[in-house]
Structure 1
Amino acid sequence: MAVVVVVAGFGVAAPLIAQGADSIYNAETRTLSIRTATNRRFQYVFNKGGAICGLYDVDIAPETNLVGDSFQGETTDRVIQWTYWNSRYLGSPHDSGDKDVRANVTMEGCFHGKFTCDALESPKTGHQNVLTFRSQITHWFYAELDRHGRPDFETTCRYEVLEDGSVKLERTVLRRPWDLRDVVVRTWDGKQWDAAASEKTVLVADHLWRGSMTSYFENWIPLRRTALPYQRSARGTFTEDGYKFWKPQDLGGWAMAFGEKLAVAVVFGEKETDQSPHQVQVVFNRLDLPQHQLNILLPGIETDWPDHATLRQTLIFVMGEPTEVTQRANRLTSQVPFPRIEVK
């Protein structure tokens, strides 16, 4: 989608809240404009389902969208959103993109934007510090694979503006049963994978072990490499790329992409206190794609996910100058609870 930067409500007469931040949401452009009590200004722009497609530090770089360009040249992956993967179920090869055949579904839509989510609830224009989006997606990321059986996920995103201008995302994702047909089902026998064709089955979201990708919820956070060329965590620099499956404690609870003047941190917390039967584990992957001008920070969740169960997760997004973002992210880490699966 075309991102329209609207610096709304920042005139002399814009009301300020004595303690905290003043926020104005424009429903037409889906733009949230924030002014803190210390007169720092930020903007967030959203896609229709509640994924973030624009991050702007209005004071430092008002024309620079810190959300990166598309990974595959289309609109629905140039947003901050979730993707679910299950490597036990394989569809037939498709004709576009990277040819991945694993069962997968992405919050906002499909490759080339052929199908997008249905918006079920959207915020209205006005002064507000809390925005709620609710949406449903019933397509594979490669929508031609819908012939194998459609997924059904419902997402609620509640964004809360914090006093320092950061934004906390409390997100719930309901997974309904996913009937599959004409797929290959992979089974682990303790030593190796066996694969067999299945005419009809139902996806079972069992997480087998850390890094197995057998039930994996990925947070897709593409950031603009030209503005944010470096990466670090709360524990310092990390240079290994790809799916290393670091634990959140190893990174200190947040990771940041940054440049000389700008930074964006994603705070995912460092607690790992899950006592549920669903094997919930937070993992973190780093991916740097210079050929696409993207830094991608991927705090993910590996978990069993029963039918009709809801995954609840919290993230905080922090924008600003690198030293300031580091300090603010450190203060916010303790506010992020451990994710959990809720079964009715």
Structure 2
Amino acid sequence: MNKIPLLDLTQQYKGIRNEVRDAIDRVLESGHYILGPETKALEAEIAEYCGVKHAIGVGNGTDALQLALDAAGVKAGDEVITTPFTFFASAEVVSQLKATPVFVDIDPKTYNLDVEQLKKAITPKTKAIIPVHIFGQPAQMDEIMELADQHDIFVLEDAAQAIGSEYKGKRIGSWGHAATFSFFPTKNLGGYGDGGMIVTNDDELAAKLRILRVHGSSPKYYHSMIGYNSRLDEIQAAALRIKLRHLDDWNNARAEKAAYYNKKLAELPVVTPFHAEDRKHIYHLYNVQTEDREGLMAHLKENGIASGIYYPLPLHLQEVYKDLGYKKGDMPNAETISQKIFALPLYPELSEETIDHIVAVVRNYFE
């Protein structure tokens, strides 16, 4: 069997090649390349898809987080609670605004913020909470929103990995005061380059975000605030519009492959992903846990099968955050899981035959 990648974007492209090329040609012939009609159309389509009033296209998922926090008034001296078990950007943006990231341990099953721990972490300085819908499984948004309402705290959903997922029948992106998406190429809805989006039902916040993304100017050359240069380009928007039409089918295919993996791995010494009943999980990644991760990953590599670790070191133990005073043992769930977890190949076009082969290689290692 040929080498098996963690994700195969070329397979996806083959299926939509003509649509994508037509869309890109349309942009090139229009002569309008940044924040034009394609971006406007994508914003309207994403807003409708998420069930919200506004969508604001920006340069990437990290910018989306930072602009949203900035627009919400997060500043030096404020605290923002988030998870230590996520990509660095979820905390990095807090630090960029000179606020303080406060980390809360995760639920060992869903890998999302532990709501009981969250309750204990709120202080008078807490300005915002960033729940991360990690790997495509939503956090407990009803309880988080209830808590936020009690304390007048801004909630920003980091949905970089979760577009199309649902919590209690309601689309992710429509729960918080705002939510952000990443269109990095490897995401379930990925561009052919970088891109990001902020969604919200708040008219005032949306208006502010549209000004912030273009150097704080409205109209052009008249600046009412210090802003950013963070704009979605037309080629990305055009391609993403094509992909958005296929997103639900792709997400459903991922869930089917994950269920097939679960069935096949059931008798082996690996912990397969937990899927909470009240959520639609879109399986951005298919992560398992095992005691001998490095040994198993090396065995997979020898057999031409790619795998990856998400994430090897929780954020509270990163060198850059040593001044915050966290130490080993403070977040036991995140720390333990980060030593055991790794991702197996998963993408909508992955065949059952290929999964059978991957599982056979895993079984061979344990035998």
Q: Which range, TM-score by smaller chain?
A: under 0.3
TM-score calculated relative to the size of structure 1: 0.26
TM-score calculated relative to the size of structure 2: 0.25
Per residue, is there more strand in 1 or in 2?
A: 1
Larger radius of gyration: 2
